[in-house]
Every structure is written in structure tokens, then in C-alpha cells.
A and B are shown apart, each in its own frame.
Chain A
Amino acid sequence: MRLMALFTFREAWRKKVVLLAGLLTLAFLILYGTGLHFIVGDIAYSTDHAAVSFFEMMEAITLFSMGIYFAGFLVAGLAILAAVGSIAGEIENGTLYPLMARPLSRSDLLLGKYFGLAAMLVTYAAFFFLALAGLIYWQTGLILPGLAPALGLFILKPLVLLSITMLGTTRLPTLGNGVLAFGLYALAVAGGMMEQIGVLMGSPAAVYSGVIASFILPADAVYRMVVATVIDRLPIGSGQDTPFFNPQMILGPFGSQFTPSDWMLVYTFVYIVILLAIAVRTFNRRDI
């Protein structure tokens, strides 16, 4: 499994997947940083971090949340595209046969590929997250509250998408799997947005549809957990404890109007494990 994971990681590196993603990310960061600079320039931020007001903090967090919301699309796209043909594509072009004739179990091959891609995606997502947090600090002086747990949650998102795409590639052709994975991701994002709007507008039906979408693919739910983690860790006495005021409302549909339950996090881990188990089982049973 280790050999396969290293092989997959090297493949992503050599095929310039990381380089291309890096260039796109750099373009995104330049655009985002420029926008951030001019937005922040219009708001008089205190250079003394301790003196940053609650609303200044919320503005910075809103800008950060929007950044990671869109960064999430790039990370998700990379996760899906990297894994979409990792089994089916190799069967279609014939490169899997010589590997499968080796003393390598199918589960080792599949999980090796998963962990190799996961290592690449986690590195990429972490770099992206920290770059955004760094830009926020540079422009506003705010050290993001709950930086480490938020980072841990952010890197969970590509792992969720990777697991569903790996399951798909054990059974579906590359194109079909891509359509399915992007379709489910779109469903999760739309569901998550509907849930937040549902809360703001007081529509339980919209909220429930969002919750169902989160169970089908907890990718957007992970983003909401990231935002909730940051907001919940705002320093005490910053003004966020104002009665009848939910600071998440400032973030609008980019926020997390309810802090997702810890069970959602447990569900996400179980979801990844179960999907991988089904992927191994499906791959073990199929003819190649």
C-alpha cells in the first residue's frame, strides 16, 4: 500500500497536477489579496490586534469565510479530477493490468491510491487555507481564532470528495464518475446554501433539504463546521455575547447559522470509512 501511495503522490507531482493547481491558486490568491487590500483600505483597522473591535473582527472573518468558500471549489475540483479515473481510467487505457498481476491486493492498490492522493490534497488544502489566513493577518492584523481546528476541518473536505470519487471509479467509467461526483458536490453546495437561507428566512423545509444534502455528501457541512469553529472561538468579551445576536448572521449564507453538532464530524469520518470500505468491496468483486 505504501509503495502505491508514494507512486500515486509522485504521479500527481510529475504530471504537473500540483503545479497547475498551484498556479491557479496563486492567481486566486493574487486576486483575493488585491480585493482584500482595497476592501480593508476602506475600513480603518487598528494595527493593534488587541484593540480590534468585534465588528472589525467579523468583517475580517467574513472576508476570510468568503475566501475559503471559493477556495473550497478549487480544492473540491482538484480532489474530483485527481481521483475521477484512478481505477476506471487505468482500466480503460490498460495501465492497470500489469500492476494487478503483481503480488498486490486490490485493497492495497485502491487504498494506496487513496492515501497518495489524500497526501497531495491535504498538503494543497492546508497551504491554501494558511495562505488565506496569512493574507487576512497581513491586511487586518487578525490572527484567526481557532486556526488549527479550522485547518483540520478544512482538509477534511477534499477527503470526503476523494472517498466518493474513489468509490465511483471502482464501478463507473471516468466520464460517468466525474458527472456523478460534480453533481453530488453541486447538490451539497446548493443544499448547504439553502439551509442557511432557510434559517435566515425561517423556512424549515429549506433547512431540512439542506440537512438531507449534508447527509448525502457532507462536503458543505464541513465548510460550515470550519466557519462555526472560527466564530465559536472569538475571544470572550469581544461583543459576540450580545443577547439575541448571532454573529453568524453577519456572514449571511456564507456563515453557519447553527453550529453543526459534533456528531456531524463523527458522521463525516464514518462516511469516509464506509465509502472506502464499499469501494474496496466493489473493486474486489469486479472483473477487470
Chain B
Amino acid sequence: MVIIEVRNLTKVYGRQVACRDICLSVEEGQIFGFLGPNGAGKSTLVKILLGLVYPTAGEAKVVGCAPQDIKGRRQVGFLPENFRMHGWLKGEELVAFHARLAGLDGRTAKRRAHEVLELVGLAGEGRKQVANYSKGMQQRLGLAAALVGDPRVVFLDEPTSALDPLGRRQVREILLTLREAGKTIFLNSHLLSEVEQVCDRVAIINRGTVVADGRPEELQAGSAKVAIRLDGLTGELVAELRRRDPDLQLEGDRLTLALNGRVEIAALVTRLVAGGCRIYEVTPGHNSLEDIFVHLVKEGELVCG
């Protein structure tokens, strides 16, 4: 079931286009990674999905409702980037207040607040004033507040930016637990390795336009690099390979070039052997999400269908 749907969404601030004709759909139960460089329009899209910003054109639906619809927002949790909260409250009061706003009664709100504080690793810290929390603790508290209403969809904007490696791992585990419980997570993050580890689907946005959208392995299945240690390479063969990849590198006995996919590796080796080369080692390169991200952001390639 599609739980987040965005159709031809455009947002213009004066002369500046923040989002241009964005189309997206997120299935329920997925962890959806939303990537993009600074100023690409990520936060604007999240704000539109939460009803904080009105789109100039197009429409968005979350849990089948318009973003401004109160009914839909009962099923949504949100952790904003650079989470800031009312410092005069105690941690447990803040989370319980969010629970009350989410529609829980007083007693349930308190119980639920304790549960989520424990979940995010803040058990025993709830009686401290928020103003005295460290940045990392505040981020965990924000996550607790986002989860306290037991939402179907959680929007997390850079949820681990203030956390140490242990904290990041813990948040990743929480995300996976939430997915197991059938929750949908819309994850906005710069930490591409993290996105790669947990996300079922990824979209990359650049200059307000979605330039890639798919499963991480699908995106990584594109162009791949291969490094081959060999000898007997003739000038004629090098010229032939350079037509395939003008940026190929030849350093000593090591040849590195880009292919359109891993499936081409076998054909390449066959051609090299037929051309008189002796192959000692073939190392297929791994196309990380970071490679894809950097490549797409540079290319500005439009993939949105």
C-alpha cells in the first residue's frame, strides 16, 4: 500500500524553485532514504509532506490524507533537523506533552513517554530539564517525541547528526525494529553509508528535482569500475578500450576502467585474452551509494517518471 504519495509537486519561493515537479511514492513498511546536497529541496519537501509549507503546484498525500489534514497527522511523527525543544520542560514532560497532543490520555501518555525514553536510551534521564541535555541526548529525546504517538509514518530529518558511532548504531537498530513493526520511515540524511545500511528505497534530489529513485541495489547496478592486473596489452587494445571509457587508467600492469555493469566484466576479460593479454587479477569495484550520489548530483540526470 502506498502511504506517501507525491505528484508533480512544485514549490517556488519568489524566483527560487525549491522543488520542481517531484513525483514519489513510498510503500507502507519501508525505510525510504531521501538524499540530496545542501539546498537541494529535501527539507522543503518534508515540510510540505507535514503540512508546514504549502506547495505552489501539485499534490501530496500522507496516509491517504492531505498534509494539513488533522486526521492524517494523528498517524505521523516528525523529528526535525537540529532538533530544538522547550528547554524549560523536563524530558519526560516534553515527551508526555507530545503524547497528549497526539491524542493519548494523561495516564497513557506518561506510560508511553517512559517506554519511548527507554527505547531511545534515555531511561533514567527523563527527570532532567531539557536545557541540561547534551546535543546527542536532545536528538534522542526528539526521536522519542516523534515515536511517542505510535505513528504509522515517521519523518526523520538527519536523526543521527549529533550522535556518536554507538548512538548511530542504536538509532539504526531502532529504525530496523520500527520497520519490523510495520512502520514507514522517511529518512532524510547526509550519512550515505547509514542510508545504504537501512533503506529499502532511496531517492536522490538535486536542485529541486528527483534525479534517481529506486532500491539501493538497483541504483548501484549501473556503471561499475573494474581493476585488472595484466601484461601483454597492445596499443591497439588500449585505443579500443579508450573508446569505451576515455578516462581509463593504465599504471604499470594495472588497468582500471568503467563498464556499464558487472555483466560486462566477463566479455572484457574474454576480449583481453583474445587480444593476447595474460590476466593475473580481476577486481570488480563496488559502486557505493556515495559514488552514485556524487555522480548523479554532478550529472543532474532526470529519472523521475
Contacts and interface: CB of A to CB of B under 8 A. Distances in A.
Given A15-B88, A94-B80, A99 B101 contact: yes
B74 A288 contact: no
A101 B78 contact: yes
Contacts of B54: 285, 287
B73 A103 contact: yes
B86 interface: yes
Contacts of A100: 50-52
B249 interface: no
Interface string A77-121: 000000000000000011101111111110000000000000000
Contacts of B145: 98
Contacts of B86: 11, 95
B27 to A, nearest CB: 21
A11 B88 contact: yes
Given A101-B76, A102-B101, A104-B101, A93 B52 contact: no
B273 interface: no
A93 B73 contact: no
Choose among A15, A95, A105 the residue with the greatest number of B CB atoms under 10 Å from its CB.
A95
A103 B98 contact: no
B294 interface: no
A100 B101 CA distance: 10
Nearest to A3: B100
Q: B76, B80, B101: which has the most chain A beta carbons within 10 Å?
A: B101
A103 B52 contact: no
Contacts of B127: none
Contacts of B50: 100-101
A116 to B, nearest CB: 13
Contacts of A288: 47, 52-53
Nearest to B53: A287
Contact of B78 (A11, A98, A104): A98
Interface in B7-44: none
Interface string A59-86: 0000000000000000000000000000
Q: Count chain B CB atoms within 10 A of each CB in A3, A93, A97, A99 and give the residue with the most.
A: A97
Interface in A243-287: 285, 287
Contact of A102 (B47, B84, B98): B98
B78 A97 contact: yes
Contacts of B47: 287-288
A182 interface: no
Interface residues on B, range: 20 to 34
B80 A102 contact: no
A101 B81 CA distance: 13
Contacts of B85: 95, 98
A100 B53 CA distance: 11
Nearest to B149: A102
Nearest to B86: A95
Given A11-B86, A94-B84, A287-B54, A102 B142 contact: no
Contact of B82 (A94, A103, A105): A94
B88 A98 contact: no
Nearest to B97: A7
B186 to A, nearest CB: 12
A104 B77 CA distance: 13
A268 to B, nearest CB: 32
Given A11-B88, A14-B88, A94-B80, A103 B97 contact: no
Nearest to B80: A97
B94 to A, nearest CB: 9
Contacts of A99: 101
Nearest to A99: B101
B78 A103 contact: no
Contacts of B142: 98
Given A98-B145, A288-B47, A103 B80 contact: no
B275 interface: no
B224 interface: no
29 contacts: A11-B88, A14-B89, A15-B88, A94-B82, A94-B83, A94-B84, A95-B86, A97-B52, A97-B78, A98-B85, A98-B98, A99-B101, A101-B50, A101-B73, A101-B76, A101-B77, A101-B78, A101-B155, A102-B73, A102-B101, A102-B102, A103-B71, A103-B101, A103-B103, A104-B73, A104-B101, A105-B70, A285-B54, A287-B52
The 7 A-B pairs with the shortest beta carbon distances in the complex, nearest first, are A101-B78, A102-B101, A94-B84, A97-B80, A287-B53, A103-B73, A288-B52
Given A95-B86, A98-B145, A287-B54, 14 more contacts: A3-B100, A3-B101, A95-B85, A98-B83, A98-B146, A100-B51, A101-B52, A101-B76, A102-B98, A103-B74, A103-B101, A103-B103, A287-B53, A288-B53
